[in-house]
Amino acid sequence: MKKLFSMSLVMLLAISVILAGCGNKNQGASNANGGEAGGSAKTSNVQLGMVTDVGGVNDKSFNQSAWEALQAIEKESGVKVKYLQSKSDQDYIPNLNQFVKGDFNLTWGIGFNLANAIGQVAKDNPNKNLAIIDSVVDAPNVKSVVFAENEGSFLVGVVAGKLTKTNKIGFVGGQDSPLIKRFEKGFEAGIKAVNPKAQLNVNYTGAFDKPDLGKAAAATIYNDGADIIFHAAGGSGTGVFNEALARKQQGQQVWVIGVDKDQSLEFGDEVTLTSMVKRVDEAVKRVSQEVIDGKFKGGVETLALKDNGIGLADTSTKNVPKDVLDLVEQYKQKIIKGEITVPSK
Q: SS3 string of the chain?
A: CHHHHHHHHHHHHHHHHHHHHHHHHHHHHHHHHHHHHHHHHHHHCCEEEEECCCCCCCCCCHHHHHHHHHHHHHHHHCCEEEEECCCCHHHHHHHHHHHHHCCCCEEEEECHHHHHHHHHHHHHCCCCCEEEECCCCCCCCEEEEEECHHHHHHHHHHHHHHHCCCCEEEEEECCCCHHHHHHHHHHHHHHHHHCCCCEEEEEECCCCCCHHHHHHHHHHHHHCCCCEEEEECHHHHHHHHHHHHHHHHCCCCCEEEEEECCCHHHHCCCCEEEEEEECHHHHHHHHHHHHHCCCCCCEEEEECHHHCCEEECHHHHHCCCHHHHHHHHHHHHHHHCCCCCCCCC
Q: What is the largest CA-CA distance in the chain?
A: 117
Q: Do 65 and 280 touch, CB atoms closer than 8 A?
A: yes
pLDDT confidence of residue 15: 42
CB neighbours of 284 closer than 8 A, spacing ≥ 6? Answer: 65, 66, 69, 70, 108, 133
- HSE at residue 230, side-chain half, CA atoms within 13 A, is 38
pLDDT confidence of residue 62: 84
pLDDT confidence of residue 13: 40
* Separation between Cα atoms, residue 209 and residue 204, nearest integer Å: 13
* Separation between Cα atoms, residue 55 and residue 88, nearest integer Å: 9
pLDDT confidence of residue 43: 62
Task: Report yes or no on whether pTM surpasses 0.75.
Answer: yes
The pLDDT profile of the chain, 345 residues, written as one tens digit per residue, is 444 434 444 444 444 444 444 443 333 332 222 222 223 335 669 999 999 999 889 887 889 999 999 999 999 999 999 999 999 999 999 999 999 999 999 999 999 999 999 999 999 999 999 999 999 999 999 999 999 999 999 999 999 999 999 999 999 999 999 999 999 999 999 999 999 999 999 999 999 999 999 999 999 999 999 999 999 999 999 999 999 999 999 999 999 999 999 999 999 999 999 999 999 998 999 999 999 999 999 999 999 999 989 999 999 999 999 999 999 999 999 999 999 999 999
Q: Do 197 and 167 touch, CB atoms closer than 8 A?
A: yes
Q: Do 44 and 36 touch, CB atoms closer than 8 A?
A: no
* Separation between Cα atoms, residue 293 and residue 269, nearest integer Å: 40
Q: Do 111 and 63 touch, CB atoms closer than 8 A?
A: yes
Q: Do 323 and 150 touch, CB atoms closer than 8 A?
A: no
* Separation between Cα atoms, residue 211 and residue 215, nearest integer Å: 6
pLDDT confidence of residue 44: 66
Q: Do 184 and 227 touch, CB atoms closer than 8 A?
A: no
Q: For 123, phi and psi rounded to 5 degrees?
A: -65, -40
pLDDT confidence of residue 61: 83
User: What domains can be seen in the chain, in order of their start residue?
Assistant: 47-147+281-306 (3.40.50.2300), 149-277+315-337 (3.40.50.2300)
Q: Do 48 and 79 touch, CB atoms closer than 8 A?
A: yes
